[in-house]
Amino acid sequence: MKNEAIEVLMNRRSVRKFKPEQITDAELKTVLDAGTYAPTAKGDQRPFIVAVQDKETRDALAALNTKIAGRPGDCYYGAPTLIFVLAPDDGFGVLDACAVETNMLNAAYACGLGSCWIHRSNQMFKTEEGKAYLRKWGLDESLDGWCSIALGYADMEPAPPKPRKEGYYRIIK
């Protein structure tokens, strides 16, 4: 079956090197809007999406993530835009956040942008520094960070998709 949506789902790959140029407002809005259309439990739209393009804030958040990772370098691979998906830890929040994140990753690819799902948001926003950002952004500091995205123009060619493993799914009739 040939279909643009299926092509996006099967070909989006993580980018781990970004150009320093900032993405356009229209590109960012498209990605964020796609996130808001993700399915959420009971349609309650629990997640909050925060896009960070301010360089000073971006660099401080990247440093926090890198410190938690315990390794040198920039865990966001130099991406000029960071997106955080936060939600309550109510049994559905993490699932909703992951759906939001996935929609945005696929939208980024469809817009010609590079993206990478980055972990450790949960640890970041449990720190006092992370909670201070939540307060600064006008969000309840009880929200948990579930996932984040490094977003920008790719400065590399992503690897081709790996072959899918045998037995990945079963059909029961």
* Predicted local confidence at residue 1, as pLDDT: 65
State both tokens at 160.
């081709």
Q: For residues 129 and 142, give the distance between their C-alpha atoms in angstroms, rounded to a whole number.
A: 13
Average pLDDT over residues 102-118: 98
* pTM of this structure: 0.95
Average pLDDT over all residues of the chain? 96
* Predicted local confidence at residue 53, as pLDDT: 98
Alpha-carbon dihedral sign for residues 129, 78, 97, 165: negative
Is residue 132 scored above 70 in pLDDT?
Answer: yes
* Predicted local confidence at residue 100, as pLDDT: 98
Complete DSSP assignment for 143-168: PEEEEEEEEE-BSSPPPPPPPPPTTS
Q: Map out the domains of the chain with their CATH numbers.
A: 22-152 (3.40.109.10)
* Predicted local confidence at residue 2, as pLDDT: 77
Q: What is the pLDDT of residues 70-106, one digit of tens each?
A: 999 999 999 999 999 999 999 999 999 999 999 999 9
Complete DSSP assignment for 104-117: HHHHHHHTT-EEEE
Q: What is the pLDDT of residues 12-61, one digit of tens each?
A: 999 999 999 999 999 999 999 999 999 999 999 999 999 999 999 999 99
| Alpha helix (H) residue ranges in the chain | 4-11, 25-36, 55-69, 93-110, 121-124, 128-136
Q: What is the pLDDT of residues 146-169, one digit of tens each?
A: 999 999 999 999 988 889 999 999
Is residue 139 scored above 90 in pLDDT?
Answer: yes
Bridge partners (DSSP) of residue 49 are 85
